[in-house]
Amino acid sequence: MTQSERARGRFVIRSRPEDFVVVEEPLYPASGSGGHLFVEIEKRSRTTEQAVREIARGLGVAPMDVGYAGRKDRHALTRQWLSLPGVEPERALALELEDVRILQAIRHEHKLKTGQLRANRFELCVATDAPFDPAPIEARAAELIRRGMPNRYGEQRFGRAGDNADAARRLFGGRVARRDLRAARFLVSALQSEVFNAVLAERGEGWDEVVVGDLARVEASGGLFWVDDLARELPRARAFEISATGPIFGTKVREPRGEVLALEARVLARHGIPPASELVLPRGLRALGTRRPLRVAPRDLAISPAPDGRGFRLACGLPSGAYVTVLLECLIGDLGEIVDGSRRRETPDEGMDAELSSTSLH
């Protein structure tokens, strides 16, 4: 660390799992009847995949038949929902595992699918190595509430070595075995994420506004429309009624128009992705594509000083697919460096499961 970095201070997260709490908000409640069982689990120091394997083994079901809406980080205390086929509620609730608890068990008609969650709720403790003045971060929090935060994917999306997107490129032109489909979907979604981040970066500081040609999203309904009247739509963007979107590439993704389309085409070509009409995915995979808003609104964002004055507590809700690590980067910025206290506890095989939001191939 340089002298200037030491002067700026260190902001340490995840010194212990209880300092990083994530609670999943499901998209819909379980119905109470049907052949699947929705279970809410609480896990500590476990990836979602590890918890799934342990629960599946304990209840005698195949891990691939267990459904979940998104991966949750290992180095945290997290709560999320899984679905299990043909399991009695009493058996699930009686299962005892180390660092994994089943809190609820409710029947439902269908398997839980990736992406079927409304939001994630976060409660974080951020420690500093010196007495902390919360005023600058409180001011930035107020600005993020007003403008939203850039909706880029966090570094953990790309694997511990940062090479998931490159691994996805090597899949193209090949065939994916059925047993490897889940891993292949994850890798291709990392490449989709890399391209989206690059488009967002090309937009510069205007990610909270719209321009002519944008394919904008209506915040209240999720509907998309092309921006052709800037005098009408720019005030709506500034009121957070609409937001510009970027591409999650695929074979059927909708495209913007004019200069926005040209910008996205340049970024896609730079990353080796052809136009949707020419895109050929690895055999066995489907990716229709979608549009992702360039910004999201943190919900109930609250900053409070730590009891000892060395750091702060952060609480907020973020929609499915948004990253709390990105929110932290926006809050801290040039005030100091963010140090992940869990890094020294990682093992080389953890990269794929280190997710702080939902993961899906669109």
Give the residue from 272, 296, 320 where a domain finishes.
Answer: 296
Same domain, 153 and 281: yes
Non-local (6+) Cβ contacts of 185 within 8 A are 285, 360, 361
pLDDT in tens, 155-177: 888 877 788 888 888 887 676 66
Question: What local confidence, expressed as pLDDT, does residue 161 receive?
Answer: 79
Query: 303, 134 in Cβ contact below 8 A?
Result: yes
Question: What local confidence, expressed as pLDDT, does residue 275 receive?
Answer: 87
Q: Say how far apart CA 58 and CA 60 lie, in whole Å.
A: 6
Residue 262 belongs to a domain with what CATH number?
Answer: 3.30.2350.20
Q: Is residue 92 part of a domain?
A: yes
Same domain, 79 and 117: yes
Q: Please tell me the least confidently modeled range out of 192-201, 317-326, 350-359.
A: 350-359
pLDDT in tens, 40-89: 999 999 999 999 999 999 999 999 999 999 989 899 999 999 999 999 99
Q: Is residue 1 part of a domain?
A: no
Q: Say how far apart CA 128 and CA 11 lie, in whole Å.
A: 5
Q: Is residue 43 part of a domain?
A: yes
Q: Say how far apart CA 2 and CA 10 lie, in whole Å.
A: 12
Structure tokens, 192: 């989709």
Q: Say how far apart CA 224 and CA 293 lie, in whole Å.
A: 10
Same domain, 89 and 174: no
Same domain, 155 and 290: yes
Same domain, 198 and 107: no
Query: Phi/psi at 158 (nearest 5 deg)?
Result: -105, 10
Domain range for residue 44?
Answer: 12-122+298-353
73 in active site: yes
pLDDT in tens, 87-130: 999 999 999 999 999 999 999 999 999 889 999 999 999 999 88
Query: 27, 62 in Cβ contact below 8 A?
Result: no
Q: Nearest Cα to 323, choosing from 77, 137, 73?
A: 73
The dihedral over CA atoms of 105, 109, 114, 117, expressed in degrees to the nearest 10, equals -60
Of the listed 73, 208, 214, 353, which one is catalytic? 73
Percent of the chain at pLDDT exceeding 90: 72
Same domain, 108 and 240: no
Q: Is residue 360 part of a domain?
A: no
pLDDT in tens, 203-213: 999 999 999 99
Mean pLDDT of the chain: 89
Using pLDDT thresholds of 50, 70 and 90, give the confidence band for residue 5: very low
Same domain, 330 and 201: no
Q: Say how far apart CA 217 and CA 223 lie, in whole Å.
A: 6
The predicted model scores a pTM of 0.85
Q: What are the counts of helices (DSSP H) followed by strands (DSSP E) for the chain?
A: 9, 16
**Domains held by the chain: number:** 2
Structure tokens, 238: 């500034």
Q: Which residue has the tokens 């992406």?
A: 115
Non-local (6+) Cβ contacts of 263 within 8 A are 199, 202, 203
pLDDT (average), residues 295-324: 94
Same domain, 212 and 94: no
Q: Nearest Cα to 208, choosing from 299, 328, 334, 293?
A: 293
Helix, strand, coil shares, percent, the chain, to 5: 35, 25, 35
Same domain, 272 and 342: no
Using pLDDT thresholds of 50, 70 and 90, give the confidence band for residue 353: very low
pLDDT (average), residues 133-157: 93
Using pLDDT thresholds of 50, 70 and 90, give the confidence band for residue 178: low
